[in-house]
Amino acid sequence: MHDALQDMLVTPNEMAAIDKDAADSGIDSFSLMRSAGMAVSAAALRLFPTASRFVVLCGPGNNGGDGYIAAEALAESGAQVALFSLGDPSKLRGDGAKARSACRLAVVDIGTYEPKSGDVVVDALFGAGLARDLPNSAQDVVRRVDASRIPVLAVDLPSGIDGRTGEVRGASFTAAHTVTFIAPKSGHVLMPGRALSGALEVFDIGIPARLVAARASDLRINGPAIWKQYAGGLEAGTHKYKRGHLAVLSGGPASTGAARLSAAVGLVGGAGLVTLGSPPEAMAVNASHLTAIMLKEIGSAADLGEWLQDKRVIAFVLGPGFGVGKKARDFALMLCDRALVLDADGMSSFQQAREELFEKIAASGGQVVMTPHEGEFARLFPEVAADASLSKIEKAQAAASLSHAVIVYKGPDTVVAAPSGRAVVNVNAPPWLATAGSGDVLAGIIGAHLAQGFPAFEAAAAAVWRHGEAGNRAGRSATAETLAQSIPPLT
Ligand SMILES: NC(=O)C1=CN([C@@H]2O[C@H](COP(=O)(O)OP(=O)(O)OC[C@H]3O[C@@H](n4cnc5c(N)ncnc54)[C@H](OP(=O)(O)O)[C@@H]3O)[C@@H](O)[C@H]2O)[C@@H](O)CC1
Ligand SMILES: Nc1ncnc2c1ncn2[C@@H]1O[C@H](COP(=O)(O)OP(=O)(O)O)[C@@H](O)[C@H]1O
Ligand SMILES: [K+]
């Protein structure tokens, strides 16, 4: 596969540009539509061999055009097909009109469709061109189909999903399976679009890879291709300092567990050594719970300053259980020129002082990763969080640009974004990662990667992926402790 196409994600606008480039290069757009429609019909027959009737719902644009091609192909194969249209099919234009006239089935208004058991709905109402909320007549049919629980095969996107944001526009079908073309759209991987798309199949309708690659942005689905160049095997002659020294800063005596969890994960994640920096009053409790992790008393900024003289301490994790306040701010500002994971309390401490942090990150040139969940994101980037026009990807990109840090915007569809705009969306995380301490585990894996010399973006992307894999290995009863034991090796 062309390198630029590996795991690529496109927005509907980029898809439209690719489409136009294809037409300008002399490719017949109707032949693309025919390939798309044929792929849908093949998927319908393959996935639903016992369907008693395929109900093809066609919209007013090219998504509907794909539907007419699929309906004709299904009928040709001998299947029972019923065809419904949203709006007057005589108003179809261009390829859509051509597809309608090549379909010999009678078409009736969508308002008359009553779902019956044994039906399979082929949803070709709207795809990438959905520009506003679904019209009421489409929302009504979505509700009827939902209530009847008959399976839905979506063409390109479940109608109602915004292909850029993954959000529901009024209402959306819940598809068992979606056949999309050329590349997944961001709306297929962002929630709730990902959950509503069901299994996603990407079909190559024949647009040359060079045309697609020319429009490919720096947006990908997260996977090993992103970081594999930093995750090579260990050389036989390595030693623990070469593998990297990670430091994790502990909170006070009543809240030490989170930092110890990150520290333990740091070793599993591949750092050669991990030291827990502890305030004096928490030394005893930390000492009583540590074995392979080293312990150092770090009570004040002066202690930290002295420790920073040791350039072999490569990376730092600050935030888990640390406590919100001036000490966290002082420590964070001292660490901006190193490799730093600023998590939890480390970020929340800057709610009223973020400019100071962002300026320091910009001026210091370190490798800083921030890991907000939705609440922390809204605290640190309220104006971005409140902008309803932005997708989660765009929000993470805006936050990275504002803060000059790599942003890991956590959740079921974690987005990692760099200040340059480069971004990945993670898709391997199971819902049981939502368990107390799971974020501390993630911070520890990122720290381990930074200690090993990964650049911040790759460190974060690889960690989010390994965290997801750990969840899959640990299974549904995962706790932060079992997650920590289930992190897969880097290669
Ligand atoms: N990419 C490719 O190479 C290929 C793509 N292909 C297929 O093309 C699909 C994209 O086609 P598309 O651009 O015509 O968009 P589509 O989703 O059919 O909707 C647009 C129509 O709906 C209308 N409309 C929009 N929102 C509305 C609303 N809420 N309520 C009412 N109306 C609304 C809008 O009208 P307008 O907004 O202009 O008034 C317009 O008429 C893509 O998903 C894939 O299936 C394949 O054929 C193979 C090649
Ligand atoms: N529904 C979900 N599906 C997959 N991953 C999730 C889901 N909810 C949360 N996560 C992941 O679990 C982790 C939770 O981190 P965080 O919110 O900081 O929790 P904690 O503070 O309890 O450690 C994040 O990596 C997040 O992406
Ligand atoms: K659709």
Structural domains in the chain, CATH included, are: 3-217 (3.40.50.10260), 224-485 (3.40.1190.20)
Ligand 1 site, CB within 6 A: 15, 19, 32-33, 36, 59-66, 126-135, 155-156, 181, 205
Q: State in Å: Cα 37 to ligand 3 middle.
A: 12
Ligand 2 atom at minimum distance from 258 CA: 23
Q: How far is the CA of 77 from the centre of ligand 3 (A)?
A: 22
3-state secondary structure the chain: CCHHHCCECECHHHHHHHHHHHHHCCCCHHHHHHHHHHHHHHHHHHHCCCCCEEEEEECCCHHHHHHHHHHHHHHHCCCCEEEEECCCHHHCCHHHHHHHHCCCCCEEEHHHCCCCCCEEEEEECCCCCCCCCCCHHHHHHHHHHHHHCCCEEEECCCCCECCCCCCECCCCCCCCEEEEECCCEHHHHCCCHHHHHCEEEEECCCCCHHHHHHHCCCEEECCHHHCHHHCCCCCCCCCHHHHCEEEEECCCCCCCHHHHHHHHHHHHHCCCEEEEEECHHHHHHHHCCCCCCEEEECCCHHHHHHHCCCCCEEEEEECCCCCCCHHHHHHHHHHCCCEEEECHHHHHCCCCCHHHHHHHHHHHCCEEEECCCHHHHHHHCHHHHCCCCCCHHHHHHHHHHHHCCEEEECCCCCEEECCCCCEEECCCCCHHHCCCCHHHHHHHHHHHHHHCCCCHHHHHHHHHHHHHHHHHHHCCCCCHHHHHHCCCCCC
What pLDDT was estimated at residue 237?
78
How far apart are the C-alpha atoms of 214 and 205, rounded to whole Å? 17
Residue 1 has pLDDT above 60, yes or no: no
Atom of ligand 2 nearest to the CA of 414: 27
* Annotated binding-site positions for (6S)-NADPHX: 62-66, 127-133, 156, 258, 321, 373, 440
Which ligand has the nearest atom to the CA of 341? 2
Judge whether residue 265 has pLDDT over 70. yes
Confidence of residue 136 (pLDDT cuts 50, 70, 90): very high
The pLDDT confidence band at residue 5, using thresholds 50, 70 and 90, is: confident
Amino acid at 141: V
- Ligand 1 nearest-atom number relative to CA 15: 1
Backbone angles phi, psi at 369, to 5 degrees: -120, 130
Return residues with CB closer than 5 A to ligand 3 (ion). 123, 127, 154-155, 159
Please tell me the predicted confidence (pLDDT) of residue 271.
95
Q: Which pLDDT score, from 0 to 100, does residue 241 have?
A: 74
pLDDT in tens, 395-447: 999 999 999 999 999 999 999 999 999 999 999 999 999 999 999 999 999 99
Mean pLDDT of 187-197: 98
Q: How far, in Å, is the centroid of ligand 3 from the Cα of 63? A: 6
* Percent of the chain residues topping a pLDDT of 90: 93
Is the model's pLDDT at 467 over the cut of 70?
A: yes
**Which atom of ligand 2 lies at the shortest distance from residue 437's CA?**
23
The pLDDT of 7-13, averaged and rounded, is 94
pLDDT at 118 over 90: yes
Mean pLDDT value across residues 133-157: 97
